[in-house]
Amino acid sequence: MYYKAIIQGRLEFGSDKSYQKVRKMYDYRTENYYKGVLVFTAEDVFNDEDLSLEIPRHVSQITEKNFKNTCSLLEYCAQFALAGSIRAWQIDEGRIMHYAIIEPDSDKVAVRSFLKGRKLVKQIGKEDEAIQALTKAIEKYNRHAQAYERRAKVNFLLKKYHDAKRDYTKCINIDPTIPTSYYGRAKVHLLEENYQLAIDDLTMATKYSIALQTVYWKAKRIKADCHMKLKQWEKAAFDLKFFSKRKFVPDDPNYQWKRWAHYQYGRVLIETEEYKEALIALNMALKIEGGSGNIQNKEILRLRGIAKKKAGKTGYLKDIKQAAKLGDLQAKSLLKEFA
Q: Give, in order, the Cα–Cα distances in Å from 256 to each of 218, 233, 263, 277.
A: 11, 23, 13, 22
CB 305 within 8 A of CB 319: yes
Q: What is the DSSP letter of 290?
A: -
Residues 6+ apart with CB under 8 A from 132: 117
CB 151 within 8 A of CB 124: no
Q: In what order do the strands lie in the sheet with 46-47?
A: 46-47, 52-62, 3-12, 83-92, 95-102
| Integer Cα distance of 300 and 286 in angstroms | 7
**What is the chain's Cα-based Rg?**
24
Of 240, 215, 246, nearest in space to 228 by CA: 240
CB 79 within 8 A of CB 11: no
| Integer Cα distance of 150 and 194 in angstroms | 23
What is the distance, to the nearest Å, from the Cα of residue 333 to the centroid of all Cα atoms in its chain? Answer: 40
Phi, then psi, of 45 in degrees rounded to 5: -120, -20
Q: What is the pTM of this model?
A: 0.93
pLDDT tens track of the chain, all 339 residues?
A: 999 999 999 999 999 999 999 999 999 999 999 998 999 999 999 999 999 999 989 999 999 999 999 999 999 999 999 999 999 999 998 889 999 999 999 999 999 999 999 999 999 999 999 999 999 999 999 999 999 999 999 999 999 999 999 999 999 999 999 999 999 999 999 999 999 999 999 999 999 999 989 999 999 999 999 999 999 999 999 999 999 999 999 999 999 999 999 999 999 999 999 999 999 999 999 999 999 999 999 999 999 999 999 999 999 999 999 999 999 999 999 998 876
Q: What is the DSSP letter of 156?
A: H
Q: What is the DSSP letter of 107?
A: S
| Integer Cα distance of 238 and 244 in angstroms | 10
